[in-house]
Amino acid sequence: MVKLLSSLMIFISLSMPAQQLGDTSFKPKNTTRTFSASQSPVVLLDEAHHNFHTMDGRYRPFVDILKSDGYTVEKNKSKFTKESLSHAEILIISNALHSKNIENWDLPNYSAFSRNEIEAVYQWVKNGGSLFLIADHMPFPRAAEDMAAVFGFQFNNGYVEELTNKA
């Protein structure tokens, strides 16, 4: 019994500071690709805005699924312009951050995108591009708020906390 409790205590102490991680052992079991190599849509995964989710990090399983279905997935490491978006069909922006909020998630939170970038993405979508804009809890919604606004929606820059059942 003592050995079991000791093992449990060690397990709990090691798992408490755990961060979100992508499952690097995940292997998609897609047997039929939707797109052939010649028809492969280009997906840009934004990594130019201090993104919490990246192609080689937390979003690796997601990227593996897209690739297994025939998508060509590329990292976007530059600011959004008409030119940088021109070859892509899909743009994924996930949990972008302003440089001031990388180490400090407290208010105020700032937009991750310049006005020129927002306009470039807006025009690209208007001309047929597809945007997948993702924002989790604070501070990510505020960082994406200005981008969302040009498309007519908003995020709530907050988080949920259980106040009544503290264990």
Domain assignment present for 139:
yes
Q: Which domain holds residue 58?
A: 36-149
Q: Could you give the maximum distance between any two Cα atoms of the chain, in Å?
A: 66
Report the distance separating Cα 40 and Cα 38, nearest Å.
6
Pick the residue with more confidence: 5 or 19? Answer: 19
CATH classification at residue 40: 3.40.50
| pLDDT for res 23 | 64
Query: Does residue 115 form part of some domain?
Result: yes
Task: Report the sign of the C-alpha dihedral through residues 111, 113, 115, 118, in that order.
Answer: negative
| Residue 28 binned pLDDT confidence (cut-offs 50, 70, 90) | confident
Residue 26 lies in a domain: no
Count structural domains, the chain: 1
User: 72-99 pLDDT, tens per residue?
Assistant: 999 999 999 999 999 999 999 999 987 7
| Domain assignment of residue 98, yes or no | yes
Residue 28 in any domain: the answer is: no
Residue 82 is assigned to a structural domain of this protein? yes
pLDDT exceeds 60 at position 13: no
pLDDT in tens, 29-59: 878 888 888 899 999 999 998 888 777 777 8
Cβ neighbour number for residue 164 with a 10 Å cutoff: 4
Q: Does 61 fall in a domain?
A: yes
Q: Flag whether 109 is in a domain.
A: yes
Please give the model's pTM, rounded to 2 decimal places. 0.78
